[in-house]
């Protein structure tokens, strides 16, 4: 992850994202209920599975329905593969259109300056890595087993689709805007998703609309 080369803050990306982020998912069966009000999900994990889906998006597109904590990988024939996800907490939700620019297995983590300002205690876990101060990839890394890096045009949004070292947070509003999956699920999605894949994050009542 090229943290030093990032050109946009998350706020700037939200303000400049394409208008194509309007609701494009007409209906997909099997979505769970409304977001819980706590940070730990006590519901049983749901493995990735096929659901019926009516959408204007082309097969291969990723559509994130943050309200229902699910991500859809659109398939041919009116179907999609549904994955459980954790999404942005209050004040960090966003909507927009991006593309997968880069993919990494067991990625290093480079927290943003904003994140370190909110959680200065994290600095004690950081070391000097090739691209700056961060945490080396591995089972204890917050990015988990895989990461897919979302760019808007030629600029890094600083948002990621990634795994997690806290699987019980999947299904909740917990992140600083990134989309997190259980490690076994993100490995499956990673293997199905090439660089260049379009990603649509649908608006919610609390997201920054574009």
User: What does the pLDDT look like over 7-29, one tens digit per residue?
Assistant: 223 333 333 333 333 333 434 44
User: Given this model, what pLDDT does residue 90 score?
Assistant: 66
Catalytic residues: 162, 178
Domain range summary for the chain, segments of one domain joined by +: 3-27+45-201
pLDDT value at 38 more than 90: no
Weakest-pLDDT range from 12-21, 81-90, 118-127, 163-172: 12-21
Decide: 198 and 59 in contact? Cβ < 8 Å.
no
- The closest of 76, 89, 84, 83 to 38, measured between CA atoms, is 89
CA distance 161 to 201: 11
- The closest of 114, 88, 115 to 206, measured between CA atoms, is 88
Burial class (CB in 10 A: 0-12, 13-18, 19+), 50: middle
Q: What is the mean pLDDT of residues 88-93?
A: 74
CA distance 178 to 143: 10
**Residues forming beta bridges with residue 208, ordered by sequence position:** 94
User: Given this model, what pLDDT does residue 46 score?
Assistant: 87
CA distance 8 to 168: 30
The pTM assigned to this predicted structure is 0.78
User: Given this model, what pLDDT does residue 207 score?
Assistant: 54
User: Given this model, what pLDDT does residue 30 score?
Assistant: 37
Beta strands 70-75 and 79-84, pairing class:
antiparallel
Could you give the C-alpha distances from 66 to 63, 69, 114, 144, in angstroms and in order? 9, 5, 22, 20
Q: What is the 3-state secondary structure (H, E, C) of 32-100?
A: CCCCCCCCCCCCCCCCCEEEEEEECCCCCCEEEEHHHCEEEEEECCCEEEEEECEEECCCCCECEEEEE
Which CATH superfamily, name and number, covers 3-27+45-201? Answer: L,D-transpeptidase catalytic domain-like (2.40.440.10)
User: Given this model, what pLDDT does residue 203 score?
Assistant: 85
């Amino acid at each position: 992850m090229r943290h030093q080369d990032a050109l946009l803050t998350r706020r700037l990306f939200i303000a400049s994202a394409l208008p194509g982020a309007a609701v494009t998912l007409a209906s997909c069966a099997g979505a769970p209920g409304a977001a819980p009000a706590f940070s730990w999900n006590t519901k049983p994990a749901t493995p990735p599975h096929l659901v019926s889906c009516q959408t204007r998006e082309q097969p291969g597109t990723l559509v994130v329905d943050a309200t229902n904590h699910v991500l859809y990988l659109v398939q041919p024939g009116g179907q999609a593969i549904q994955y459980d996800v954790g999404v942005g907490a209050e004040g960090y939700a966003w909507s927009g259109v991006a593309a997968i620019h880069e993919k990494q297995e067991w990625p290093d983590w480079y927290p943003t300056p904003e994140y370190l300002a909110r959680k200065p205690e994290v600095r004690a876990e950081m070391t000097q890595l090739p691209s700056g101060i961060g945490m080396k990839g591995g089972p204890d890394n917050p990015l988990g087993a895989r990461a897919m890096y979302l760019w808007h045009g030629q600029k890094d949004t600083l948002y990621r689709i990634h795994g997690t070292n806290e699987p019980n947070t999947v299904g909740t509003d917990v992140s600083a805007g990134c989309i997190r999956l259980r490690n076994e699920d993100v490995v499956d999605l990673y293997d199905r998703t090439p660089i260049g894949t379009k990603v649509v994050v649908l608006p919610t009542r609390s997201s920054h609309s574009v």
